[in-house]
Amino acid sequence: MAGPVTWARRAGLFCKRLWWDGAVRRGARAGVVAPAMFAVGLHLVGNVAIGTFAVIGVFCLLLLVEFGGPMRERIQAELGLIVAGAALIAIGTLISPPVALAAPVVLVIAFAILFSGVVSSVLASASISLLLAVILAVSLPAGPAAVGPRLAGWALAAGASLLAIRFLWPAPVTDPLRAPTVASCRALAAAVHAGAARWRGAPGVSADDVAALDGRAAAAVTALRRAFLAAPSRPTSLTTSARTRVRLIDELAWIRDVLERPAARSGGAGSVDAVKDATADLLDEAANLLERPDAPADPLHAAQGRLDAARARMAREAVITLPRDLTGNGRVSEFLSALAPTFRVQELAYAVHLVARNVDLSVAAERRTWVQRILGQQPGGLAGPVASARERALAHLEPHSTWLHNSLRGAVGVAAAVVVVHYTDVQHSFWVIFGALAVLRSNALATGQSAVRAILGTVAGFVIGAVILIGVGTNFTVLWALLPVAVLMAGIAPARISFAAGQAAFTVALLILFNIIQPAGWQLGLIRIEDVTIGVGISILVGLLLWPRGARRELRRALADAYADSARYLNATVAYAASCCDGAAPRAPSDEAQRAAAAARRLDDTFRTYLTERGAKSMALAEVTSLVNGVAALRITADAVLDLWQRDSAAAGDRAAARSLLLHTSHDIERWYGDLAETLASGRTAPAPAPPDRAADDRLVAAVRRDLHGDDGDATSAAVRVIWTADHLDAARRLEVTLTAPARAAERSTR
């Protein structure tokens, strides 16, 4: 039997969970503020419109949204929502009487609100609140004279909500990605340190120790990726710090993949181990700075300097130790084995350099002054929020974007509901429109499932509310006492119980609310059921008409586009390298890089939709995840090739053989990934991975010997980069083997 201490500990843990529970916090704050503002508008001011828009305003500003980050950023986001909501209420009121004007304007507004969520998670989280504001204004037709009272009610809700956010149970400052990112950096650093110590023969470091640390690093990166994908939209805002930190996800995953490859070793590789240690030190410093952003960045910069020096020393030693005489048996193998350790370590060092740079930029962005933020000054020459928003939006303005599909579907559904309520004699048109919006999902099947849950939840809420109203009657004192409890449950039920439970709780809250405004008893519940049924019927129809096959097909298309664009980008970077071999000054493939990044963003959003879509999945999640991760690996490989040739200039010379060999290999790789894209898009037979080319090494070394062999350092340095570029292409070839099985599973899922 549990003693007093145990019960006290349990009570403490329960209270702690309540404190951190966002749904409980939102419900409790709204339960206090909404009835209070409703009472002020209805009784103190004596205006029904003010009271109605005050209570719905609290729902929009407190119950349906909660912004994260520091208090300053939350207040800024809330102020933006308040201003936007006020503008939408005014517009919705002015266009509400004529349906010929209301329907097309609502279509445009709803699409703009829903599509803007692709730009920022802040906008995505506020979309339902903004839609609710315009829906309420449009569904209650009135003339221009109604704008003032409605905005007064909204202003009443706004003032109370700002005070509640700041002083009434303020949410703790949370960053869902910071802690797992720090843990991933430290776990990867420990694995790199152990690997270097093991190869040096340091005592006390066994192969099992290295394997265990590698496993912990892989688990930490997997947990980070899982946290990143847990939200229905990318958990980043338009702030510079958030935009830079989100890049760490793919970079840390690439570091994990590099560590998982079999290690190469040759004698006398002291500079290789030095680079490994410097790489691990830089990862540790990046984790320290990310965990304590107020600390000085000098240790990170010093670690970057040590890594750069170690990389330069390793490159010089690689040049010096290359065998010059390539005649005789085994000399080709000796030549390549001399570069194998340096390639893997420079690949690792490049990825860690990216991580450190983005952590540095993120922290520098957080430290900007208020004036610098207002002026849009960006650290490190990064694009500003407006340019970033434009880039994100343009990435999804193409026919296969799931976000575009969902935005159009939602906008058409809301506009259709506006038309229906105009030509039907429903008493509460607000619930028709909101019912249509509430159950629209990514495919017709899920829409139907949500519709059933919405109706069942509404029926359950009606039964509960009817029992309450029959027992209470017109006792307004009891109704006012029950209203805060009903609002609290309306906030908790959707997140902690189910969608249907949320519908039931919301129905009870609205039954009580409208019976306070105009007593109608339990009959009001029947009207609500009728209205919601009409709304969900509209949503099912829209779901059937617009992209009825859901996110699965769109995921396949997004994967196909991402692989095709990433392969073209890799081929373009190799073409850039080939031009550098001639000592030319070629144009960097920026257009190809932007297209690959845009396709990757569309894939990320489509993958999130696929994860949150109800119903059985035709492909195992592990196989889908492998295909999604492969895109990031291919794109970062292209980044690494570009960086390799942008860092140093090559001396002019006749290198036709090396250039031809790199381009031929790159074209073959692009062709294979193009075939993979066709497989994913159309369900055709997946291509087999390219067979190992036993003569490729001989041809590569022959090209180096013929075109790049010489006594001058520049020529030999270019030779090293040619070999490393070929190694990057070989990594893309090895990725083909990893992707073949998931691609064939995707092919079977279409049969």
Q: Are 76 and 195 in contact (CB under 8 A)?
A: no
Give pLDDT, residue 670: 92
Residue 118 pLDDT greater than 70, yes or no: yes
The residue ranges of every structural domain in the chain are: 178-368+382-387, 398-548, 551-749
- The first and second tokens of residue 51, run together, are 């009271």
Give pLDDT, residue 550: 55
Highest average pLDDT, of 365-379, 426-440, 557-571, 620-634, comes from 557-571
- Per residue in 684-716, pLDDT (tens digit) is 777 888 777 766 666 776 666 655 555 554 446
Q: How far, in Å, CA of 742 to CA of 751, rounded?
A: 15
Half-sphere exposure of 585 (CA within 13 A, CB side): 0
Same fold yes or no, 178-368+382-387 and 551-749: yes
Q: How far, in Å, CA of 383 to CA of 377, rounded?
A: 9
Residue 152 pLDDT greater than 90, yes or no: yes
Q: How far, in Å, CA of 290 to CA of 356, rounded?
A: 10
Give pLDDT, residue 458: 67
CATH T-level fold of 551-749? Methane Monooxygenase Hydroxylase; Chain G, domain 1 (1.20.58)
The arithmetic mean of pLDDT across residues 249-278, rounded, is 74
Give 153's pLDDT tier (boundaries 50, 70, 90). Answer: very high
Give 314's pLDDT tier (boundaries 50, 70, 90). Answer: confident
The arithmetic mean of pLDDT across residues 74-96, rounded, is 89
Q: How far, in Å, CA of 25 to CA of 309, rounded?
A: 51
Q: Are 524 and 479 in contact (CB under 8 A)?
A: no
Q: Please choose, from the candidates 749, 42, 110, the residue with its C-alpha nearest in 3D space to the C-alpha of residue 412.
A: 110
Q: How far, in Å, CA of 40 to CA of 159, rounded?
A: 13
Residue whose tokens read 């893309």:
732
Q: Name the average pLDDT for the chain.
A: 76
Q: Are 673 and 563 in contact (CB under 8 A)?
A: yes
Residue 447 pLDDT greater than 70, yes or no: no
Highest average pLDDT, of 86-95, 192-201, 222-231, 705-714, comes from 86-95
Give pLDDT, residue 567: 93
What number does CATH give the domain 178-368+382-387?
1.20.58
Q: Are 282 and 396 in contact (CB under 8 A)?
A: no
Highest average pLDDT, of 184-198, 454-468, 522-536, comes from 184-198
Residue 615 backbone class (left: φ over 0; alpha: ψ -120 to 50; beta: rest)? left
Residue 105 pLDDT greater than 50, yes or no: yes
Q: How far, in Å, CA of 255 to CA of 259, rounded?
A: 6
Give pLDDT, residue 14: 47
- Per residue in 392-417, pLDDT (tens digit) is 777 777 777 777 877 887 788 778 77
Q: Cβ atoms within 10 A of the Cβ of 435, count? A: 27
Residue whose tokens read 């991975």:
689
Give the max Cα distance, the chain. 102
E strand intervals along 75-177: none
What's the per-residue H, E or C state across 645-693? HHCCCCCCCCCHHHHHHHHHHHHHHHHHHHHHHHHHHHCCCCCCCCCCC
Sort 70 into a burial class: Cβ within 10 Å, 0-12 / 13-18 / 19+. exposed
Give 59's pLDDT tier (boundaries 50, 70, 90). Answer: confident
Q: Are 188 and 217 in contact (CB under 8 A)?
A: yes
